[in-house]
Amino acid sequence: MRLLVTGGAGYVGSNVVWALHDRGDDVVVYDNLRQGHREALPPDVRLIEAELGDDAALDAALGDGHWDGVLHFAALSLVGESMQRPFHYLTENAGLGIRLIDSCVRHGVGRFILSSTAALFGNAENTPITEKTRIDPGSPYGESKLMIERALHWADRIHGLRYACLRYFNAAGADPEGRSGEDHRPETHLIPLVIDAALGLRPEIVVFGDDYPTPDGTCIRDYVHVSDLAQAHLAALARIEAGSVTYNLGSGSGHSVLEVIRSVERVSGRQVPMRIVERRAGDPAVLVASSSLIREETGWTPRFGQLDDIVATALAWRKSHPNGYGNAG
């Protein structure tokens, strides 16, 4: 297949690009490299360095021959920042995402995969969260993804654009072969932050709140290995031949912030310094997603089901890349 991947030099996007490349697809990445890294991509994959909001660049890319599909990862993704800059997130994520969908329709692209989020569900009343759980975004970030999902609904209904919305919350881990890992500037994901604290690359880990209605008082999240997420995107590409789908991706069981810290301590053999502060706005107490539907319909099964296994791949990558992609150790 010939596929365009927006945001493909980012964390999840690059792992999907590697998975597509490994199976022989012709992949082109469209990324502004503000959060992404050229070094995260296979050396022979073409990179178009451009803004998603650059209509001329986007039209030129989509007009360059036939595309079997577009996979869309490019987005702002910080829940806390979205609470401070709501309209910036709605404009950048929803606005540009909808313009991308419109461009796909105009250029005859038949398939679209959206990297969505479990943040659509806010404070879900029941867990694990299924595709039938009531949608109630707890942040402008979640709202922006919902707006793109609704645009895809109409693109299918009116223009026949088949799509898959893949809702997941915490991608984690690194490529088992060491080809790609997390290198955000600044880093905001919990597991790499805890690992950095364990390795002495940061002074401590800050825990936002220990008074949530959970067993240990800290937030519970669902962690899915990034390589498993990549395989889910490949499964969804095949599945939408029969029609558009929406899938939740998760392990069905979550882990609290303190449990993640203990996992890093077990795997690394080091103590993690931490400090507990007040809650952060927009953070639900529990977000755990069920992946029963995608398992039943596609046969997708995660390889990395244990938190310690996920942490081990992230730790190995960080040890070999103490300064990220800028300077591998």
Residue-wise pLDDT tens digits, 211-261: 999 999 999 999 999 999 999 999 999 999 999 999 999 887 899 999 999
Q: Which has more confidence, 128 or 4?
A: 4
Nearest to 21 by CA among 49, 2, 39: 2
Instruction: Give pLDDT, residue 124.
Output: 74
What is the pLDDT at residue 328?
A: 44
Dihedral sign, Cα of residue 162, residue 252, residue 170, residue 226: negative
Q: What is the mean pLDDT of residues 181-204?
A: 93
> Over 90: is that where the pLDDT of 125 sits?
no
d(Cα 209, Cα 308) in Å, to the nearest integer? 23
* Ramachandran region, residue 217 (left: φ > 0; alpha: ψ -120 to 50; beta: rest): left
pLDDT confidence band for 282 (50 / 70 / 90): low
Q: What positions carry a catalytic annotation?
A: 141
pLDDT tens-digit profile of 18-45? 999 999 999 999 999 999 999 999 999 9
Does 327 score more than 70 pLDDT?
no
> How much is the pLDDT for 123?
73
Distance CA 115, CA 83 (A): 20
pLDDT for the residue numbered 118:
86
Rounded to an integer, what distance in angstroms lies between the CA atom of residue 107 and that of residue 113? 16
At residue 329 the predicted structure's pLDDT band, cuts being 50, 70 and 90, is: very low
Domains and CATH numbers, the chain: 2-169+223-248 (3.40.50.720), 190-221+253-326 (3.90.25.10)
Question: For residue 280, what pLDDT is reported?
Answer: 82
| Cα–Cα distance measured from residue 284 to residue 219, given in angstroms and rounded to the nearest whole number | 7
pTM: 0.94
Rounded to whole angstroms, the Cα distance separating 320 from 176 reads 12
- Reference 82, options 27, 137, 159; nearest CA is 137
What's the pLDDT score for residue 49?
A: 98
Contact 163, 150 (CB under 8 A): no
| pLDDT given at position 301 | 92
Residue 158 has pLDDT above 60, yes or no: yes
Q: How far apart are CA 98 and CA 234, in angstroms?
A: 23
Question: Higher model confidence: residue 231 or residue 188?
Answer: 231
Q: Rounded to an integer, what distance in angstroms lies between the CA atom of residue 201 and that of residue 16?
A: 28
Mean pLDDT of 156-179: 95
The residues, ordered by sequence, that sit 6+ positions from 165 with a Cβ below 8 Å of its Cβ are 114, 116, 149, 152, 245, 246, 247
Average confidence score pLDDT of the chain: 94
